[in-house]
Chains A and B, each alone.
Chain A
Amino acid sequence: MIWDYSIARVETGVDAQDAAQPMDSEAFAGFYQRSARSLWAYLARVSGNPVLADDLMQEAYLRFLGAAHLPDGEVACRRYLFRIATNLMRDHWRRPRTSSIDELPETLFSVGDGSAASDAQVMLGPALAQMRPRDRQLLWLAYAENYTHTEIAEITGLKSTSVRLLLFRARRKVARLLCNETSAERGCA
């Protein structure tokens, strides 16, 4: 009773600027439907852990909705969401009590249902498992989400020039791994 009054005052009065809802529920529902699958795919494939991806995705949306100001436009909002998710993933890996992504079993990166997956994707799982987490992030953002170097820099907090160099190295490495796996089966072009 007392708190309801106080909270209402906080939300509508003194701290109105902080508490103002940057997105209404309908707009959020639409944005969520359009962005959630991509975000989950990013988190699941980069972390290699679908359960962790569920948790981080929910937390990312909660933080997104808790932001005092959201960027204008859906593209910018989406980029902001990916930035939150990237930071959450980084925080998770930094936490000492949890296992590092480098210690996760390789099977986590393999595809669950092999029948539905293409050859390239079946090979991509083990190849990604051999990459560093940051390389996985960069590759996914560049080749799955089609982000430019500048956008990747904004999402990951790296410099644009660093992104270019790191992405070049990562791309060369993963292509070599994919080629090795392909050539083991049928030869790489």
Chain B
Amino acid sequence: MTLGHCTREKDVMALLRSGGWPAACEPELREHVAGCSLCAQAVLLKSAFADALAQAKSEARLQAPGVVWWRAQLRRRNAAVKRVNRPLAGAQWFALLINLLAAVALLASQWRHMDRLRSWFSEVADAPVFHPVALWSMAARQPGWNLMVLIPFAVAFVILGGITVYLASER
């Protein structure tokens, strides 16, 4: 494809950019533009786009630069938190994986004892001590058993409550 080119187009464009068209244009150049389709095209386009630019600029609803700056800072901060969190998350996944592997290894090592374990569980389940009514009557007969149930519950409650309060205050 042959690209059209006019040697005077640069002069015309320079005048258009400086805002000198048509007032500061020499008559000779104006005559040239009237006869040159490429330069006339440049004048038409430049005028149309300059007007469109001025109109669009007046339509723009800009935010305050401080708001944009603040959002950018927030984004940088979040990115920094994410960067710091990344190795921690990695360590957590690694720990989980190690625990799972340990659990699988333990199960595999104890596999041959499974039958004995199952029979032991069935015996334990049938034992009267695991029936709530029997347990209640046994605890009623021995007052020390109430404390044995109550104290671990109370300790667990205090520890979990402390952790919850600590995490809440951190946030």
Interfacial residues, chain A to chain B (CB-CB below 8 A): 1-3, 6-7, 10-11, 15, 19, 25, 28-29, 32-33, 36-38, 40-41, 44-45, 50, 54, 58, 61-62, 65-66, 111-112, 116-118, 120-121, 123-125, 139-140, 143-146, 164-165, 168-169, 171-172, 174-175, 178-179, 189
Contacts and interface: CB of A to CB of B under 8 A. Distances in A.
Contact of A45 (B44, B50, B56, B68): B56
A7 B80 contact: yes
A116 B58 contact: yes
Contacts of A36: 60, 62, 65
Contact of B57 (A41, A65, A124): A41
B71 interface: yes
Contact of A50 (B34, B49, B57, B59): B59
A179 to B, nearest CB: 8
A41 B56 contact: yes
Given A66-B76, A120-B48, A58 B63 contact: yes
A60 to B, nearest CB: 10
A24 B113 CA distance: 69
Given A143-B46, A175-B45, A189-B34, A44 B56 contact: yes
Contacts of B8: none
A165 B1 contact: yes
Nearest to A31: B65
A102 to B, nearest CB: 20
Given A125-B52, A143-B49, A171-B41, 8 more contacts: A15-B83, A44-B59, A45-B52, A61-B68, A62-B71, A118-B55, A120-B51, A124-B48
B3 A121 contact: no
Contacts, number: 132
Nearest to B74: A62
Contacts of B71: 58, 62
Nearest to B3: A168
B78 to A, nearest CB: 10
A118 B51 contact: yes
Given A29-B69, A120-B44, A1 B52 contact: no
Interface residues of B, number: 41
A28 B53 CA distance: 23
Contacts of B75: 62, 66
Contact of A65 (B47, B58, B62, B72): B72
B8 to A, nearest CB: 16
B24 interface: no
Task: Tell me the interface secondary structure of chain A in the complex.
Answer: helix
Contacts of A11: 76, 80
B72 A124 contact: no
23 contacts: A3-B81, A28-B69, A36-B65, A37-B56, A37-B60, A40-B56, A41-B56, A41-B59, A41-B60, A50-B59, A58-B63, A65-B76, A117-B51, A120-B52, A121-B48, A139-B45, A144-B50, A144-B52, A165-B1, A165-B3, A175-B45, A178-B48, A179-B44
B132 interface: no
A28 B63 CA distance: 13
Contacts of A111: 55
A25 B45 contact: no
Given A41-B60, A139-B45, A32 B68 contact: yes
A86 to B, nearest CB: 16
Contacts of A50: 59
